[in-house]
Structure 1
């Protein structure tokens, strides 16, 4: 269960009276235009605006902005934006109108437009505390917690009694997992404004995240007392009741949250977990299904429903729901674990161990993931025939052979081959396309089902990897070969699609493919996982790439050494931090050596790549030395072409 926290944006002050002559003070349209009543304000401002040229442009601008703030309060954000546009047309230096239009855009989820308007408001009025605060909310919505904290800190510097700024800075700290700082800020917000229900609710959520459920319940109860319509506070108190084992109290709170907010998908999920805890599985499934109906992209809802279906023994439905959760969130470690358990229960050990490996890749320190992998691998080794339709029978460790030669035989082998030559932003590379075509043909001759992608864009690489991942999950061997440009930035390795421009270091994450993504694609193979990278060429992108001011990130032409999971081998065309040659012949030195040794019978995989290394050293006068990373089981030998 996830504690929910609420943000509150600060509405900018109505300012029209300060700019008008005293003679207008008794003017009904004017007094209505600055009233707090929403409908009254709309009516008054509309009447005032109708006077047209009889009113100074600056005062008309304020009237439009005030009416826009009323439309904002009604949730009519497009009308609010139209009025703020008119206000800014009349007065292009009207900081409040920029700030209010930013609020309108933020309410519509257009965070970048909101930030642009808050920037304008701050440029016009550098002491505008509310604009800093609201920009912080927009940054928080974009997941930029550091900037959110900086903006709320600036707002507090400008106005030390700004309760909402303390509250929202606390939320940003909480999102970073810094619950102690979050609690300090929520407490300061409460000290400034003891009626701020959101601050009590958020502090309760932070206490709950720290496991202090008694304090959490106390704070959520206070939030409810201050605002009985606060659905989030009811839901968060319910989560703390679950943690204390008070499931009936929890269900009552979740139900009240749903009554107050019928589209609150999270409350249905949380009530479903409480029903599951009581053993009321059908009710749990009904609540998870309602959450899916309300939010079809809610990965947690699918995963939780899968948990309950697995508890009912419906393995196929559990697998389907966990698969959907993973499709929606490929980094959802719990969904991989739960699907792995469902596969294990069905006796499908290859799929089970594949999912446990993927979980381990996402959470390397999770002991359950390591234990699951070890258990299933032992079951597979002890009884290789028991991996599909029935659970394997575990044999004593002494029954495991010390060397199980593996050739093509009845194994399923799949490969994905990339050859990126024709880069749009830099000079083309002659060899990768030829290398890829030749290696794809050679692998097919050795029994691989090969998918080839030549001159692939980012979108094409991602699509190919997704499709290949499904094939790898059903295979014994999975191999990815990439020829083209690659680089290392900030300790991570990236492979570069042909449509990348990489004008700025920030573009790398958006325009390139991480090596981690490649490793994930092969992770599901049951026996051997290979990644071959001829991607260490002298990279022209690095020379022209702009660096982000204030951020220290090393950018290198070569690749960084890696530590792949057991059973996975990653082979670089040259050592970490070195650059490889593209070659003066039809193939790069690495591709030529691999093609030669691939056709040699009886070369075990580890020995094969040792031989490739020696061949490349000879061909390059010892300027280039391929390097292999990872460890394969000593109990099994692997051959592209078995001994004769």
Structure 2
């Protein structure tokens, strides 16, 4: 009820771009892709927006109705999540891809919008926020909020977190989330291991985005095999420095591509 009320309040505020997304209301396969690179100073990322554009195009080619944001603020991300929850209410599968900066606190992952950082809060060599002095993590987007936006309906919900998981406070609650159990039917593919960075890349795309584009195709195998191939690919590209992780509560065999185009067997 809270999310539904929020959508009613925000539909008139979101604007023309989001109004066009109402067309996805009756679609079975829906995706949200966000790319953030216009961070201040040395925090800027060269490839994140290009990553999101390529991922959005790939998902659209596979049959998804795609919502795509470039360099959104925290408020814009939260408004879009409200619209996504409404528009994808009856979708069979929802995919979210996040490219940009991320952090961890107390075992939880947070996506960092472009308005959440200050120039003094960044360590350029490590490519990850080292301090969050602007009110803690209040200007970030908790990964848990994204999971909740996908709702607890029994459908496949797949999140690709192509961002760092650098720790800004000691991990208290274990890997990947809070003490609350993760809802069923969710798979989260992290580009990096807990407490480590995810690299922006030097060849036009991040290592994780390159691996995604290489392995998420019309004839891709089941999700579990795709995620394993992505992990091997990223480890190879980074010579073992970056190791993707997966957290899953999937209840059935899943494919990233719509089932109509999934291979048999």
State the TM-score, normalizing by the size of structure 2. Answer: 0.76
Distance 1:440-1:630 versus aligned 2 partners, 3 A rule: same
Within the candidate set 127, 134, 143, 1:515 is matched to 143
Counterpart position of 1:462: 78
Within the candidate set 242, 245, 262, 1:642 is matched to 262
Whole-angstrom distance in 1 between the partners of 2:201 and 2:66: 25
Conserved in 2, the CA contact under 8 Å of 1:473 and 1:524? no
**1:113-512 superposed matches below 5 A:** 323=1, 327=5, 412-424=28-40, 426-501=42-117, 504-505=132-133, 507-512=135-140
Whole-angstrom distance in 1 between the partners of 2:116 and 2:3: 30
Deviation at 1:457, TM superposition (A): 0.7
Q: Secondary structure at the match of 2:215?
A: helix
Deviation at 1:482, TM superposition (A): 0.5
User: Structure 2, unaligned stretches of length 5 or more?
Assistant: 8-25, 122-131
Superposed CA offset, 1:344-386 (max 9, x none): xxxxxxxxxxxxxxxxxxxxxxxxxxxxxxxxxxxxxxxxxxx
Deviation at 1:554, TM superposition (A): 3.0
Deviation at 1:631, TM superposition (A): 2.5
Conserved in 2, the CA contact under 8 Å of 1:487 and 1:495? yes
Q: Tell me the C-alpha RMSD between the 2 structures.
A: 2.8
Q: Secondary structure at the match of 1:511?
A: coil
Kindly report structure 1 stretches of 4+ aligned residues shifted beyond 4 Å: 502-506
Whole-angstrom distance in 1 between the partners of 2:161 and 2:220: 23
Q: How many pairs align? A: 227
Deviation at 1:531, TM superposition (A): 0.9
Superposed CA offset, 1:519-538 (max 9, x none): 11222554200111011177
The structure where helix makes up a greater share of residues is 1
Deviation at 1:327, TM superposition (A): 2.1
Conserved in 1, the CA contact under 8 Å of 2:108 and 2:176? no
Deviation at 1:616, TM superposition (A): 1.1
Q: Secondary structure at the match of 1:629?
A: strand
Whole-angstrom distance in 1 between the partners of 2:105 and 2:220: 39
Distance 1:462-1:560 versus aligned 2 partners, 3 A rule: same
State the TM-score, normalizing by the size of structure 1. Answer: 0.33
Q: Secondary structure at the match of 1:603?
A: coil
The structure where strand makes up a greater share of residues is 2
Conserved in 1, the CA contact under 8 Å of 2:27 and 2:65? no
Which protein shows a greater Rg? 1
Q: Secondary structure at the match of 2:115?
A: coil
Whole-angstrom distance in 2 between the partners of 1:324 and 1:519: 15
Conserved in 2, the CA contact under 8 Å of 1:560 and 1:577? no
Counterpart position of 1:601: 219
Distance 1:490-1:457 versus aligned 2 partners, 3 A rule: same
Q: Secondary structure at the match of 1:624?
A: coil
Distance 1:617-1:463 versus aligned 2 partners, 3 A rule: same
Whether 1:530 aligns to 2:144 is no
Superposed CA offset, 1:380-424 (max 9, x none): xxxxxxxxxxxxxxxxxxxxxxxxxxxxxx970111101000013
Deviation at 1:328, TM superposition (A): 6.0
Whether 1:589 aligns to 2:217 is no
Higher relative contact order (CA 8 A, sep 6+): 2
Q: Secondary structure at the match of 1:590?
A: helix
User: Structure 1, unaligned stretches of length 5 or more?
Assistant: 1-322, 330-409, 543-552
Counterpart position of 1:629: 247
Conserved in 1, the CA contact under 8 Å of 2:37 and 2:114? yes
